[in-house]
Structure 1
Amino acid sequence: MFGSYSSLYIMRKAILLLFLFGLSFQNFLAQKNYQKEFRQVDSILGSHYDQKKPGIAVAIIKEEKTIYKNQIGMADLEQEISISDSTAFHIASVSKQFTAFLALLLEKEGKLSMSDDIRKYLPELKDLPFKINLYQLANHTHGLPNLNELAHLIGIGPQDRMTHKEAIKMLLNIKTTNFKPGEKYEYNNTGLALLAEIIERVEEKSFQQALKDKVFEPSGMMRSNAVDSPALIVKNKAHSYKLEHGTYVNYPFNLKSNGSTGISTTINDMGKWASMFQNPSPEAKEIFQEMQKPTKLNSGKVVQYGLGLEFKNYKGLNLVFHGGGDSGYRSYILHVPKFQFSVVILGNNNDFTPLEVVYQIVDTFLKDHLKEPLPPKKTHYTERELKSFEGTYEMFPGTYYNIIAESDTLYFQSYGTKDKAPLPVIGDGEFLFPYIPTAKLSFYKNGFIFHIADFKYDCEKITLETIRPEEVKFTDFTGLYKNEELNSIFELVIQDAVLMAKHCSDEDIVLQPLAKDSFYSRKSFFGKLDFIRNTQGKIVKFKVSGQNLKDIEFVRIHD
């Protein structure tokens, strides 16, 4: 009996060994099939990064398995600590998909409804003029002003610290919207930050703990956390850097807002998230499908953004992706669902290189499935044809550009300046903007789209009044102006024959006359000021508009 048991045991062990050897051999063959591609990716990374400089962590996931992983560069230049697969990176707006996933999970549990009015959970926003639902918070159609620009209006700049709780306190005082909810898609951070606050209230625990309990731990992401304060210590942290005059300097990220940003994670953990996206549980699959539904505006126009995820077609491939960037941190996650192929990139240098690298990786691995775009039909323009593009264009209130045609060249010029920069022709109404990597201008009738990375900014042709400073009586506008909701005061003064806006916590802002009672500045959060006079003709207030801001009112409290 013992002898036959021993034979059975030996036979089973032999079969198990053969099975394991078969799996190993299959994995070896799979790895071997990609050896050429792996070497090409090594070469791509080596051409962009240096072991002694800020760098990058990369993972490629195929059919749930991480088939490639590499790290190049330094996580900490001062301590000379290299990036590893356990280095924690701030992933900026890639955080948004985790907030959306958690909100949809809570909806399945019956704790909230994405169709609800946000005032059901945030009664502090009772003075809002319109209903905004939770979907609109997550798909950027809510119309609320952006928290980053609002922070600037109270004097919080890149060098200043702001916690998530302080950001939420500021947001809960909002009383106006930039537009009627659902009318436009306007990417910003306010919506997902407020969604994180709603999650805290329905879960009756911190957003960090809710995310850990319901998303991170079930996904095996044990090194991931939501960081809500600049004071918190993050173990194995990659520091943020930027290059200034040939030298790397610290570029700290001090404005913390959970929900829209704030997650700290590793390349290993993000690989697990990508793997779960490729082969989710039935419940997670339903949630990911909901997140991938394009947004439909009130007009019926469809926007290729869902709930924390974006979509596009790249060389014939349907992609699901999202990028992130705060200070020197850069992150990107891209999926090609048809081939169960994903790329994750985490970096700590303030540049556009990760975006270039991720698409070079897609080109390398999926080259046999790519369809190169057709060559442009029109690649040369006469001066007369270029003249049709000429004009002044508004990107945001206060941010204006001149397009100028001279000879056979189109030029780009910031409004109010003398310098102009040539725009090389790409073709079919498109012109390269070589001064920012990945940027270009695509013209349409009376406008152009300014493409920068994955962002598209609509710039419409406008007519601006021409007014000289000597035609404006600056003394009409001087005084103290206060916004009650933000509890913020600006003083307008005349300094060196120029009207200036001063704030106790920020740099002075030069105001240039735009029209009789309007000024503009070079600051996107303080782009355009429209002054209001009373019946006696005296200035009583101004409304400031800019990037992700519209008509924020400051009332004159003292001449």
Structure 2
Amino acid sequence: MNPHFNRRRFRLPTSAPLGAFVAALVAAFVAAGEISAQAAELQRGRTVPGSLASGDTTRYTIDADEGTFLLGAVNQLSVDVNIRVLGPDGAQLALFGGLGKGAERFAGRTAAAGTHTVEVFAAPRDGEDRGGAGGQFEIALLRHEPVATDPARLTDQIMSRFDGPASPGAAVRAWRDGRTLFSQSYGMANLAYGIPFEEDTRTNIGSTSKQFTAFAIMLQAERGLLSLDDDIRKHIPELPKFDQTIRVRHLITHTSGLREFLNLLRMTGRRTDHGDWIDRRELIEIVQRQPALQNLPGAEYNYNNTAFGLAAVIVERTSGRDFHVFMQENVFGPLGMTGTMVRPSTRHIIPHMSEGYTPGPDGYRQIGDLGGAVGAGSIYTTIADLQTWVENYANPRVGTRESIDEMMTSFVLSDGEETGYGYGLSVDEQGGLKRVSHGGADVAHRSMLVYFPEINAGLTAQSNHAQFNSGVAYELAAAFFKDDLKEEEAPTADAGEFDPATYDAEDFDEFVGRYAVDVAPDFILTFTREGDTFHTQATGQQRLEIVPTSDSTFRLLAVEASVTFLRGEDGEVEGLTMHQNGDNHATRLEGEEAEAWAPDADELADFAGRFFSEEVETFYDIVLEDGELALHHRRLDRATLTPGEEDHFSGGSFSFLFERDRNGQVIGFYLSNGRTRDVRFARVP
């Protein structure tokens, strides 16, 4: 994939309300405390008792060859732990945590031979920057074996972290030319009742549902009941008349310019992570209150759940049937997808479903589904039915070849740029083949569906574990279809192994500076050097160490992410790409922009006050506390506001651009949150 991204072509990952990169940097990394005595060697099948005092770290070693698969577990008897795995060079390979009670599993594959280290330390409690309370635990190495070359065995290794009677589960299925190559489930669908995750378990596939909504739109177009060029107000006349016309095709290509409702409702204090109710009818009300579009329709890609919710309404208006009924009668039934259904609301019963779970301090928590997600999500299905669905792409029994091909064609923006997204489907390449895919995430469910039309092969991976990385489907697809996929080039400067010890630290000086993330320009990445050590720091976050992997690529130690610095035609560094479950471009700041704004306490006091937004009917209090600004809202956690550019702040996953009158007095601010931008708050007198 080309690392040079145009700002308008940047796509937030489809599986989450916020970009995975931003979420990774927002998550604080806690340094381990004091190291306990001599490190003990872990041996497969042997359980080792351990204990931790607050702030301590216990270390264990594992001798492993390159290409070894390791699986271990820490049974948290009376202490909540985090687990960090280090390579032979001491670099962090992975960090595990979040589950406060029971067995916390850790897994990984070695990239080099030698002694690997597993560090166990007490997880911090809220408000702490060091380890939490100590206690007792047990640690065991469950598997120590070569990384499998057989794709079925490799799948079992990768899924083993989500297997067993105490873990939320997963399921994987691969097929080609109508023949199932692999189908297996792991772990549990319901922990409360001890129900295993099975191949016919119905699972919430989140945004993977979007292709079904787009398909329904195409069916109605085939029947002459709508046109993709229709003004959406033709079918939903109660929507406001904006200065520009939103057409039906803009809804299913994420180019409408509408607010994204999940991000918008977060601004109001609505907490989907706490199970807050969202009604489908709110989507229309949200659009009715939007004063102007965020972009010209068809001019910018901005992933948008609101748009697909409205697309489902259009299907209902043109068919006279509720969306879940329409899909059953016109898609699922005719295709024989007996395990698939749309969940009209979070209160509707889905037989034989998997519950979604997220790790919490007192064990796994059952946290339900997103409300108001019909059209954007809300489909429960099985891995077998998803194979049936994709086989209809290859040999249409419902819908036409022309419609399906159009869905799988990248949309072209008004300036001629391609978005890499068709109608409800991502369109790109893997290993030299065209790849059509879509990921999904509800509150805890995770999903990925991958299809290679040129070889008529596909794979799907589903889970009800919030920590499941659905992007593993791409790796598994490469294993199952390796004879047809070209090997991807390694992201290093040369073909040989790079030795970080050979990197001249002074060469990093050309990368030192500040870089604005294109999708959120107020979110700044600052790169610095201290002797032979290199760091990056994101706006409002702590500083993280990075290590070179080539002369222009670096790996973050605290999170699974890397950076590629980019040069212009003149050879000067002009930006970078951050790789973390997607590629995120940032532009280098020059001149005055390159200097950080550092307001003093008197200047910060200008921004303190109470602010109200008519659009979202919400008050925010911004208070000067201990020399820093803090955001207060009765349903949001307190957040420190960190200065960026002048009059710009960030905090609590929000970006603030303050507005002044002609006398320089602060009169309000514009609030942005990823896919929702520039919601105005006015100062309350």
Normalised by the length of structure 2, the TM-score is: 0.70
Output one character per residue of 1:364-405: Cα deviation in whole Å (capped at 9) or x when no partner.
322223322345434575334322322222221442221224
State the alpha-carbon separation in 1 of the partners of residues 504 and 416 from structure 2: 38
**Correspondence 1:50 to 2:163:** yes
Q: Which amino acid aligns with 2:678?
A: D
In the TM superposition, 1:402-421 aligns within 5 A as 402-407=526-531, 410-421=534-545
- CA shift for structure 1 position 57: 1.3
Output one character per residue of 1:38-89: Cα deviation in whole Å (capped at 9) or x when no partner.
6425533554432221111122222123332111100111211101122121
**Correspondence 1:277 to 2:393:** yes
Tell me which residue corresponds to 1:552: 679
Match among 185, 188, 210 for residue 74 of structure 1: 188
Amino-acid identity (%)? 28
Q: Report SS of the residue matched to 1:510.
A: strand
Tell me which residue corresponds to 1:102: 216
- CA shift for structure 1 position 495: 4.2
Cα distance change on mapping 1:477 and 1:365 into 2, 3 Å: closer
Cα distance change on mapping 1:293 and 1:434 into 2, 3 Å: farther
Match among 562, 565, 568 for residue 440 of structure 1: 562
Tell me which residue corresponds to 1:451: 579
Output one character per residue of 1:78-108: Cα deviation in whole Å (capped at 9) or x when no partner.
2111011221211111011001111111111
Structure having the higher helix fraction is: 1
Output one character per residue of 1:171-218: Cα deviation in whole Å (capped at 9) or x when no partner.
332222222223322223222122122222222332222222222212
State the alpha-carbon separation in 2 of the partners of residues 185 and 324 from structure 1: 18
**Correspondence 1:185 to 2:301:** yes
Match among 376, 380, 386 for residue 260 of structure 1: 376
Q: Report SS of the residue matched to 2:637.
A: coil
* Uncovered stretches (5+) of structure 1, i.e. residues with no partner: 1-35
In the TM superposition, 1:393-408 aligns within 5 A as 393-395=515-517, 396-407=520-531
Match among 214, 222, 236 for residue 352 of structure 2: 236
Q: Report SS of the residue matched to 1:349.
A: coil
Q: Which amino acid aligns with 2:227?
A: S
Q: Report SS of the residue matched to 1:393.
A: strand
Q: Which amino acid aligns with 2:480?
A: F
Structure having the higher strand fraction is: 2
Cα distance change on mapping 1:132 and 1:162 into 2, 3 Å: same
In the TM superposition, 1:84-163 aligns within 5 A as 84-157=198-271, 158-159=273-274, 160-163=276-279
Contact 1:472/1:513 (8 A) holds in 2: no
Contact 1:61/1:274 (8 A) holds in 2: no
State the alpha-carbon separation in 2 of the partners of residues 326 and 73 from structure 1: 19
Cα distance change on mapping 1:43 and 1:90 into 2, 3 Å: closer
Normalised by the length of structure 1, the TM-score is: 0.84
Tell me which residue corresponds to 1:491: 621
Tell me which residue corresponds to 2:546: 422
Q: Which amino acid aligns with 2:294?
A: N
State the alpha-carbon separation in 2 of the partners of residues 151 and 280 from structure 1: 39
Q: Which amino acid aligns with 2:387?
A: G
Q: Report SS of the residue matched to 2:295.
A: coil
**Correspondence 1:369 to 2:484:** yes
**Correspondence 1:521 to 2:650:** yes
Tell me which residue corresponds to 2:456: 340
Match among 374, 384, 387 for residue 509 of structure 2: 387
Cα distance change on mapping 1:401 and 1:469 into 2, 3 Å: same
Contact 1:162/1:230 (8 A) holds in 2: no
Tell me which residue corresponds to 2:331: 215
Cα distance change on mapping 1:163 and 1:59 into 2, 3 Å: same
Q: Report SS of the residue matched to 2:345.
A: coil
State the alpha-carbon separation in 1 of the partners of residues 446 and 403 from structure 2: 26
State the alpha-carbon separation in 2 of the partners of residues 151 and 82 from structure 1: 35
CA RMSD across the alignment: 2.6
Contact 2:578/2:584 (8 A) holds in 1: yes
Q: Report SS of the residue matched to 2:300.
A: coil
**Correspondence 1:466 to 2:589:** no
Contact 2:604/2:624 (8 A) holds in 1: no
Contact 1:138/1:195 (8 A) holds in 2: yes
* Uncovered stretches (5+) of structure 2, i.e. residues with no partner: 1-148, 568-573
Contact 2:331/2:398 (8 A) holds in 1: no
Cα distance change on mapping 1:207 and 1:335 into 2, 3 Å: same
Please identify, of 374-383 and 273-282, the stretch whose mean Cα deviation from structure 2 is larger.
Answer: 374-383
State the alpha-carbon separation in 1 of the partners of residues 625 and 247 from structure 2: 46
Cα distance change on mapping 1:341 and 1:132 into 2, 3 Å: same
Tell me which residue corresponds to 1:40: 153
Contact 1:162/1:229 (8 A) holds in 2: no
Q: Which amino acid aligns with 1:451?
A: H
Q: Which amino acid aligns with 1:361?
A: L
Q: Report SS of the residue matched to 2:289.
A: coil
Q: Report SS of the residue matched to 1:274.
A: helix
Cα distance change on mapping 1:412 and 1:499 into 2, 3 Å: closer
Output one character per residue of 1:394-417: Cα deviation in whole Å (capped at 9) or x when no partner.
221442221224455543212345
Please identify, of 104-113 and 547-556, the stretch whose mean Cα deviation from structure 2 is larger.
Answer: 547-556
Cα distance change on mapping 1:245 and 1:489 into 2, 3 Å: closer
Q: Report SS of the residue matched to 2:454.
A: helix
**Correspondence 1:307 to 2:423:** yes
